[in-house]
Structure 1
Amino acid sequence: MTLEWINQPLAALDNNAKEHGIERQGQLTKPPGSLGSLETMAVRLCAMQGVDKPSVDNAQVVVFAADHGVAAEGVSAFPQVVTGEMVKNFSRGRAAICALARQNNAKFEVVNLGTIVDLSVMENIVDNTVMPGTSNFAQQAAMTLAQLSQAMAAGKAAVDRAVANKATLFIGGDMGIANTSAATALTAWATSQSVASLVGPGTGLDAQGVSHKSQVIELALAKHAAAMTSPLEALRHVGGLEIAALTAAYLRAAQVGMAILVDGFITTSAAILAAKIQPQIADWMFFAHASAEPGHQTMMASLGADTILDLGMRLGEGSGAGVALSILKSACVTHNEMATFAEAAVSEKSA
């Protein structure tokens, strides 16, 4: 599959629906602006969905899982086998994001792009294996162009399944030991920020481990600098299969006009890459939470965006988005179900 599809135009926001949303907010039984960001979120959803009364009740959660060859450099506190073990945990419905998806009545699936351990056929797991984890990007390019294309095709296909399921919101999650190293490398390339300002402990490295991780990433970026001439080449050289799939999923969701809820550190790196490819994509994105990973604040500043929540979370999986989904639901129900001043026979603000 070629990658030409990523340059197809994004869907247009419905400005008429947006104006109707703003008008309705001004008529609801409350002082103007008193619901704060809930009002802004509801109006944005009106524009995304082209409706007067938006809904995110039918959300689709997709966790993309893959291993990373750079784990061989000692950049993670956990062994690589954990990726495959967590895929099994997802299949059993026992991970944090599984519980949050159930709480929100969201559809849930995992897309396996390649782990170092062979995984049998499991419930809720879509096998889109490209390779048994990326190559070690400290030594060579993480993947070939054909492998990148295959990973991105898996992300596109996940969104197309969500469309078939009539999903109203797309949440991408991630699982992959050492993927904070890939996310840091990609973000440093995309934002021209220093690795030191972005690197963090990931799954629990100590200060010495973080310093080593930073050095590995810096050397890799220097090694591949001349070849990383585009977002796709950056993904190919220092990215991850799941980050490539996430990038593609975000692009596809915006092309088909589906609202996107971005999770945390890993998924935001994919959002930044997607924005390098299609700058207007941020119009289709909500950002769930402020990750406790140190570089996430820098990432959000580069996007000029704010997060819905700040709960000190850094788990990944889409878990922060699973919590923030409840807030988006609150934005919808207050917008949709509150009475207007006229309906409630309540006096409006004095002129």
Structure 2
Amino acid sequence: MIKEIEAVTGPIAQPDEKAALQAVQRLNSLTKPPGSLGQLEALAVRLAGISGTEQPVYAKRTVVVMAGDHGVCCEGVSAFPQEVTMQMADNFLSGGAAVNVLARQAGAEVKFVDIGMIGDIDHPELINRKVKRGTDNMAAGPAMSREEALSAVLAGVRVAQEAVAGGTEILVTGEMGIGNTTASAAILCALEGLSPEMAVGRGTGIDNERLLHKIAVVQRALDVNWPDPADPLDVLSKVGGLEIAALTGLILGAAASRTPVVLDGFISGAAALVAKAVAPESTAFMIASHVSGEQGHRLLLKRLGLEPLLDLGLRLGEGTGGVLCLHLIDSISRVMSEMATFESAGVSGADKL
């Protein structure tokens, strides 16, 4: 692995077992049957281990939306034209996208990063880390060079580091890029040896005819490029996307700083799969917010070993599912800090549960 990435992944440590055990003990002391809050209890234990404290509270939360264009769009794999990426960028920056609305409700800040859009935007809130003006058509050759993929990963690491240095206590992954479900499916196929028929979904809502075409395009990209599953940077450069590479870096940067990172949907999951291939220990810092309506997402989460908290049929991306998950995190955090214990409430029978 490249030395720059090794410098990031080297500090990734295991979760704090003592804090996780204290969270278990706290949960079992509360006025309820053990385990009766289901996945929320497992979430509380994981968050305690990640944050190193029995009752973590996440006052400052940040959604990072990475944006990039995809050359494979010229193959007609999406229901929307490529220029929608740029048009939506203006929408994000003006606060009008779905993730902006949901983030305001959840008390989260949205940071929008241009990592690889074809055009340029002049906006005071834009974080410009452009590596390349869109990827090349992966169905005809590599999506980008190895150096460009590495630059995008390291840009994502820096965004995570800057957010944490600014007080962010929990990160949510988001993305924007027409064509990125095609790249994500190709990554899943390349890393896990799956057929495109298993990994490719409808993305923005394509019909059956275009779905078959999209499957064929992903197969062609794999045949043309032969991405090496033992080399995650090779996979990223040949069949990935700039925003996926940057999200990979964001996840690795979060793990290195012991900051929980809430994964959104299929594209974020593809980035997480690359992060796992780079640093398997990074999965301990990932929270799977939901399983999306995209066909390969459930398979992807299984490969990550993560259990999604929500199943709402979402397939919008942007970080929307991740932001919705913040409400569940707030809920279990309040349970841990505000709920009475058997002892404090004077309730008997805890020893019989």
If the TM-score is normalised by the length of the shorter chain, which range does it land in? over 0.9
User: Over aligned residue pairs, what C-alpha RMSD do you find?
Assistant: 1.5
Query: Does the C-alpha gap of structure 1 residues 226 and 109 become closer, same or farther in structure 2, counting only changes over 3 Å?
Result: closer
- In the alignment, structure 1 segments of 5+ residues that lack a partner are none
Is the 8 Å Cα contact of residues 67 and 116 (structure 2) preserved in structure 1?
A: yes
CA displacement at 1:6 relative to structure 2: 4.3
| Structure 1 position 98, deviation (Å) | 0.6
Tell me what 2:54 maps to: 52
Residue 26 of structure 2 aligns with an amino acid whose one-letter code is R
The 1:19–1:93 alpha-carbon spacing in structure 2 relative to 1, beyond 3 Å, is same
How do 1:185-264 and structure 2 match up within 5 A?
Answer: 185-225=186-226, 229-264=230-265
Contact 1:148 1:236 in 2 (8 A): yes
**Compared CA separation, residues 114 and 136, structure 1 to 2 (3 A):** same
Q: How far apart are 1:340 and its partner, in Å? A: 1.0
Aligned residues: 350
Change in 2 beyond 3 A, CA 1:7/1:18: closer
Please give the alpha-carbon distance, in whole angstroms, between the structure 2 residues aligned to 1:39 and 1:188.
33
**TM-score of the aligned structures, taking structure 1 as reference length:** 0.96
Q: 1:73 to 1:312 in 2, by over 3 A?
A: same
Amino acid at match of 2:37: L
**Secondary structure, counterpart of 2:210 in structure 1:** helix
12, 27, 30: which one aligns with 1:28: 30
2:81 aligned with 1:79: yes
Question: Is the Cα contact below 8 Å between 2:51 and 2:259 reproduced in 1?
Answer: yes
Alignment pair present for 1:294 and 2:331: no
Deviations 1:117-166 (A, max 9, x none): 2222x132101111110111111211112211221122011101111122
Deviation readout 1:197-246 (Å, 9 max, x if unpaired): 01011111110101001101101101111666510000011100000000
Name 1:143's counterpart in structure 2.
144
Q: Secondary structure at the match of 2:67?
A: strand
Shift of 1:324: 1.1
Could you tell me how far apart the structure 1 residues matched to 2:351 and 2:147 are?
Answer: 65
Which 5+ residue runs of structure 2 have no aligned equivalent?
none
TM-score under structure 2 normalisation?
0.96
Question: How much does 1:2 deviate?
Answer: 4.1
Using the TM superposition, give the Cα deviation of residue 350 of structure 1 relative to its aligned residue in structure 2, in angstroms: 5.3
> Secondary structure of 2:138's match?
coil
Equivalences for residues 273-284 of structure 1 within 5 A: 273-284=274-285
Q: Contact 2:190/2:227 (CA < 8 Å) preserved in 1?
A: no
Asked whether the equivalents of residues 13 and 281 of structure 2 are also in contact (C-alpha less than 8 Å), the reply is: no
Partner of 1:157: 158
Separation of aligned partners in 1, 2:86 and 2:209: 27
User: What letter is aligned with 1:184?
Assistant: A
Instruction: Note the alpha carbon deviations across 1:32-83, whole angstroms, 9 max, x for none.
Output: 1111111111111111111121112321110000000010111111111100
Give 3-state SS (helix, strand or coil) of 1:307's partner.
Answer: coil
Q: Which residue of 1 aligns with 2:131?
A: 130
Aligned residue number for residue 173 of structure 2: 172
Following superposition, the deviation at residue 5 of structure 1 comes to: 2.8
List, as ranges, runs of 4+ consecutive aligned residues in structure 1 with deviation greater than 4 Å.
226-229
Q: Residue in 2 aligned with 1:104? A: 106
Please identify, of 311-320 and 26-35, the stretch whose mean Cα deviation from structure 2 is larger. 26-35
- What residue identity is the alignment partner of 2:162? R
Instruction: Quote how far apart the aligned CAs of 1:253 are.
Output: 0.7
> What is the distance in 2 between the residues matched to 1:226 and 1:62?
28
Task: Work out the percentage of aligned pairs sharing the same amino acid.
Answer: 40
Task: Note closer, same or farther for the CA distance 1:71–1:97 as it changes in structure 2 (3 Å cut).
Answer: same
Query: Which letter maps to 2:166?
Result: N
